[in-house]
Amino acid sequence: MKIIADRLTLAELKEMAANRFGDLVKAVVDVDRELVAVDAELHADLEACLLQDGSKQRNLWGINLYPEISGDEWVEFDSMINVRPSQGNRSRGVENKEMRNTIVRIVNQRIVR
C-alpha cells in the first residue's frame, strides 16, 4: 500500500497492476486532503490506511484504475466502501457527478500519465 501525496508515474501504476490484479489497481481517494492510496487487495485496506493517516471516512471514495485504458474511462467508480446512504450514496458507484469529477481531477493530478 502506498499513499500518494506527491506524484506516481503511469509506469509505476502499471507495475502495481501487473503484480496484483493484472489490469487494474485498487485505489481510495481522500477528496478533502487530495490524497490517493493505491495497491491493496481490498479498498477497505486502503481506507484503513488513510484513516490511520488522519483522513475522515466521509471524504474517502473507492475506485479502480486501469492504467492501459486512456481517457476518463481509466477510472472506474466501483467499491463497497462507497455504499453510504447517510451521504446519499446508495450504490457501489459514486452517484454525485461533482464528486466523480473531483475524484478524477485528484487522480489526474497525482498520477502522471
71 pLDDT above the threshold of 90:
no
Q: How many domains does the chain have?
A: 1
Model confidence at 106, pLDDT cuts 50, 70, 90, reads very high
Average pLDDT of the chain to the nearest whole number: 97
pLDDT band at 46 (very low <50, low <70, confident <90, very high): very high
CA dist list (Å): 21 to 4, 27, 32, 54, 73:
20, 13, 28, 28, 18
**CA dist 6 to 25, 26, 59, 78, 95, Å?**
18, 18, 19, 24, 27
Per-residue pLDDT, 77: 98
The confidence score (pLDDT) of residue 113 equals 85
The one-letter amino acid at 81: I
Give residue 47's domain range.
2-112
pLDDT at 91 over 90: yes
